[in-house]
């Protein structure tokens, strides 16, 4: 099976040792996205969530997919209490971006992300048919 590795410097720059996505057949694996390098870095978890979800949706769209094609996400946060503190806004953002077609989601609390001021990172898998 052919594997296509891609970067999207105009959406979510990747590092020197990984690809932002790998397409294997109809599956698209998206490396963890954050709000790194945006005005949301250092802001609230919900501000970072909006930027992160937007980046994922733009990558999926660029590959010809839609929000409903995202079948699995893993959400990493530095504080579950902070994540849950604004549950209404979190639910509103997920509804806005996934339009009721929610992927499976695993929530994991971690001690830190790659850079200071980052509090949420999401990796995704989409099935593009």
Domains of the chain: 3-127 (3.30.1330.40)
DSSP-assigned letter for residue 67: G
CB 52 within 8 A of CB 35: yes
In this prediction, residue 15 carries a pLDDT of 80
* Residue whose C-alpha is closest to residue 32's, from 77, 89, 88: 77
For 22-68, what is each residue's pLDDT tens digit?
999 999 999 999 999 999 999 999 999 999 999 999 999 999 999 99
Q: Which region, left, alpha or beta, applies to residue 117 given φ > 0 means left and ψ of -120 to 50 means alpha?
A: left
| Mean pLDDT value across the chain | 96
Sheet holding 104-109, edge to edge: 3-6, 21-24, 27-33, 120-127, 70-77, 104-109
For residue 67 the two structure tokens come to: 């929000």
- Answer yes or no: is pLDDT of 129 > 90: no
d(CA 20, CA 16): 10
In this prediction, residue 116 carries a pLDDT of 95
């Amino acid at each position: 099976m052919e594997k296509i590795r891609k970067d999207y410097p105009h959406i979510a720059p990747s590092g020197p040792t990984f690809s932002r996505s790998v397409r294997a057949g109809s599956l698209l694996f998206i490396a963890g996205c954050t709000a790194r390098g945006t005005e949301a870095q250092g802001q609230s978890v919900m501000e970072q969530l909006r930027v992160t979800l937007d980046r994922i949706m733009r990558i999926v769209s660029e590959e010809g997919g839609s929000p409903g094609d995202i079948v699995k996400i893993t959400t990493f946060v530095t504080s579950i209490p902070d994540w849950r503190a604004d549950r209404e806004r979190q639910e509103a953002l997920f509804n806005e971006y996934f339009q009721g077609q929610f992927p499976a989601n695993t929530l994991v609390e971690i001690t830190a992300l790659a850079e200071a001021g980052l509090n949420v990172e999401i990796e995704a898998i989409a099935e593009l048919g």
